[in-house]
Structure 1
Amino acid sequence: MITSPIWLPATLVAGAVQAWRLAIQRRVGQALSVNAAGLVRYLYGLPIAVGLMLAYQFVVAPGPFPALGRDFLLFCAAGGLAQIVATNLLLMAFDQRSFVVGTAYSKTEAAQSAVLSIFLLGERLNALTWVGIAVSVGGIMILSAGGKRMGPLALLRAFGQRGAIYGLASGFMFSLTTIGIRRATFEVATADHLRAALIVLAATVTLQTAMQGGYVLVREREQLRRVFADWRVAGQVGLLSSLGSACWFTGFATAPVALVRVVGQVEVVFTMAFAHFYLRERISRSEMAGLALVTAGVVLALSGAL
C-alpha cells in the first residue's frame, strides 16, 4: 500500500547516492577487512543520521517526539544485523571463483523481497508489477555478468556453486533488512512518514555501529587504527551512506518494499552512466540490453502500482 508519493523521488535519490557512495568506499575498503570496512560506513554515518533526525524533529517540523512501540528496537536491530550479514555474504560471493554467478544471484533480492513481504507484511502486488520485477531482475543479472555469455541454463547449472549460494543468501538477508526496517517504522506512533524514517535510521545506525564496532574491537582490534586513519574519505562514505539510507527508509515507510527495491535498481543505471561518461568506459551490447531491461522493468512495475 502506497501511503505517500514521496517514496518515488526518495528511492531514485537513494539509488544515485548509493552508486556514488560505493565508488568512494572502494578507496577506503582496499586497506580494511570486511568488518572494518562495514564499520566505517556506520561509524562515520552515525553523526549524520542523528543530526538528520534532530534537524527534522526540532527545526524542519517541530513537534513532540512520537511514542515508540515495544518492538521498535527489536526490529531496528534485526534489520540492521541482517544488513551487516548480507553485506558480508556479498563480499564472500565476490571472493569466490564464481564471482559473476554470485553477483547475479544476489540480484534476486527484489523478487525475494516481494515474496517475503507477502508472508511477513501481508503486502500484495498486481500482475504487472510482478512482470516488472521479473524483467528488471533479468536485466540486472545480465549486467552482473559483465558482458560474459551466461544464459539461463548456465545460471541454473551454477546453482550449486558456493558463489551462487552466497549470492542467494545475500539477497535473502537484504530482503530481511527491508522487512525489518519497514516493520520498525510501524512502531513509531506518527502519521509523518519522514519523521518515522529518520527515527528508525538513527536507531538502526546506532545499533549497527555498536554491533559491528564491538566485533571489530574484540576480534580485529588492529583494524581500528586503520578505520580512523583516512577519516576524510571515510567521512564522505558515512555522509553518503546516511543520506542514502534516509531516502531508502523513507521509501520503505511509504510504499511496498518490493516496489521500492525494484525501482531502486536504477542504481545500476547511474553506475553505468558514471562509468561511461566520467570514466570513459565502453558499454557492451549485452550491457546495453541489460540496462534496457532494467529500465523496462522499472516502468512496468511503476505502471502496475500507479
Structure 2
Amino acid sequence: MELWIPITITAAFLQNLRTAAQKKLQGSLGTMGASFVRFGFGFPVAILYVLGLHFLLGKPIPEMSYQFPFWALVGGVAQIAATIVLVHMFTLRNFAVGTAYSKTEPVQAALFGFVILGERLTSGAVWAIIVGVIGVMLISVARTPLSWRSLASALFGKTALTGILSGALFGISAVAYRSAALSLGGDDRMMQAALALAVATTLQTIIMVIWIALRDPTEFGRVKRAWRSSSVVGLASVVGSACWFTAMAMQPVAYVRALGQIELIFTFATSVFVFKEKINAMEIAGCLLIVSGILLLLSNA
C-alpha cells in the first residue's frame, strides 16, 4: 500500500473528529469562535512539529522560495473562509448532510489542480471521482421528495450552494497548500508539508485574532472558558492537517481529496451514534457509492 493512502485516511478521520467537536462548540462560541479554535489552538503544535522534525530527526529546514508566502497566504485565507462557511452550514442541515455538500470538493480540486499546477488525471480516476460525487449528491437529496422541483431546490438551493462554496474554498486551499509545499527546496515531502502547515496556521491565527478583536472581542472570553473542547479541536485539526499536507505533497490534490471522501463514512457513524440523527436508505446508498468511488480510485492510483 502506498504511504499516502493510510495518511489520507487518518487525515479524514481526524477531520471528522474536529468537525464534530466544532459543531458542539458552535452553540457556546458561535460561528467565528468555533472556526478560530481550529487555528488558534493548533498553530503551537504545528511549530513544535517542525522543530521536532528538525532537531530530533535531523531533517533540514527547506529553503523558502519567493512563491511560498503567497501560496501559504492564499491557502490560509481560503481555508478560513471554507471553515466559516462549513460551520455556518450546520445551522441549515444536519451534521452528515452538511458535511456531504462540502464533499463536492474533489471535482473542484481536480479543476483547480489542472488550471494552477497542470495536473492531469487518468480516465479511471475521473470516473472514480464522478461516482463519489454522485454518492454525495444522492445524500444531499435524500431528505426530499423526488421530483424535478425538489431536485432543483436540493441541488441549487441555499444549503447546496453554501456547501458547494465550502467545497470550492477547500479545493482552492488544498491546491494552494500543495503549491506552497512544492515550492520549497529539497525533496523531503514530510518537512515541506510541516513547514507549510506551520506558516499557514500561524498566518491564520493572526488573521482570526485581528478579525475577532475588531468584530467581537468578547468571543475570546468564551473561547477561554471552552478551552478543553477547543484544545481537542485544535489538536485534531493540526494533526489532521499535517496528514493532509503530507499526502498532498506526495500525490495530486484530486486523488487525496477523493480518497478523503471516506470521511463521510466516519461522519455518518458520528451522526448516528453521537448526535443521534437518523439516516435513511438513500443516504446509505450514497455512502455505498462513495465507497465504490474510493475503491475505483485506489485501483487507478
TM-score (norm 1): 0.89
Say whether residues 1:114 and 2:71 are aligned partners.
no
Q: In the alignment, residue 20 of structure 1 is paired with which amino acid?
A: L
Structure 1 window deviating more from structure 2 (277-286 vs 231-240): it is 277-286
Aligned position for 1:23: 20
For residue 114 of structure 1, report the CA deviation from its aligned partner: 0.9
Residues 1:253 and 2:252 aligned together: no
Aligned to 1:195, which of 191, 199, 219? Answer: 191
2:122 to 122, 126, 139: 126
Using the TM superposition, give the Cα deviation of residue 90 of structure 1 relative to its aligned residue in structure 2, in angstroms.
Answer: 3.0
Alignment of 1:25-104 (within 5 A): 25-59=22-56, 61-96=57-92
CA distance in 1: counterparts of 2:49 and 2:146, whole angstroms: 43
* Residues 58, 155 of structure 1: alpha-carbon distance in 2 compared, 3 angstrom cutoff: farther
Q: What secondary structure is seen at the aligned counterpart in 1 of 2:2?
A: coil
Q: Does 1:13 align with 2:22?
A: no
Task: Provide the C-alpha distance between the structure 2 equivalents of 1:27 and 1:136, rounded to a whole number of angstroms.
Answer: 28
Question: What is the CA distance between 1:256 and its match in structure 2?
Answer: 0.8
1:216 and 2:208 correspond: no
Q: For structure 1, which runs of at least 5 residues remain unmatched after alignment? A: none
Partner of 1:267: 263
3-state SS of 1:129 partner:
helix
**Distance in 2 between the 1:138 and 1:151 partners?**
17
- Which of 125-134 and 161-170 deviates more? 161-170
Residues 278, 91 of structure 1: CA spacing in aligned structure 2 closer, same or farther, 3 A cutoff?
closer
Q: How many angstroms does 1:147 deviate by? A: 4.4
CA distance in 2, matches of 1:100, 1:32: 21
1:138-149 correspondence to structure 2 within 5 Å: 138-145=134-141, 147-149=143-145
Residue 159 to residue 138, structure 1, CA distance change in 2 (3 Å): closer
Q: Do the aligned partners of residues 265 and 104 (structure 1) sit closer, same or farther apart at CA in structure 2, a change above 3 Å counting?
A: closer
C-alpha deviation, 1:185, in angstroms: 0.4
C-alpha RMSD of matched pairs (Å): 2.6
Aligned in 2, Cα 1:279/1:165: closer, same or farther, shift over 3 Å? closer
Shift of 1:236: 1.1
Following TM superposition, by how much is the alpha carbon of 1:243 offset from its aligned partner in structure 2, in angstroms?
Answer: 0.6
Change (3 A) 1:239 1:146: farther
Q: Which runs of 5+ in 2 are unaligned?
A: none
Would you say the 8 A contact 2:46–2:194 is kept in 1?
A: yes
* Cα deviation 1:137-158 (Å, max 9, x = unaligned): 1112223445444577744355
Report the CA distance shift for 1:81/1:130 in structure 2 as closer, same or farther (over 3 A). same
Distance 2:146 2:213 in 1: 42
* 8 Å contact kept, 2:140–2:155: no
Percent of pairs identical after alignment? 37
Number of residue-to-residue matches in the alignment? 301
- CA distance 1:281–1:37, change in 2 (3 Å): closer
Quote how far apart the aligned CAs of 1:278 are.
Answer: 6.7
Relative to 1, partners in 2 of residues 1:75 and 1:210: Cα closer, same or farther, differing over 3 Å? Answer: same
Mapped to 2, the partners of 1:145 and 1:39 lie a distance apart of: 31
User: Which of 139, 157, 161 is the aligned partner of 2:157?
Assistant: 161
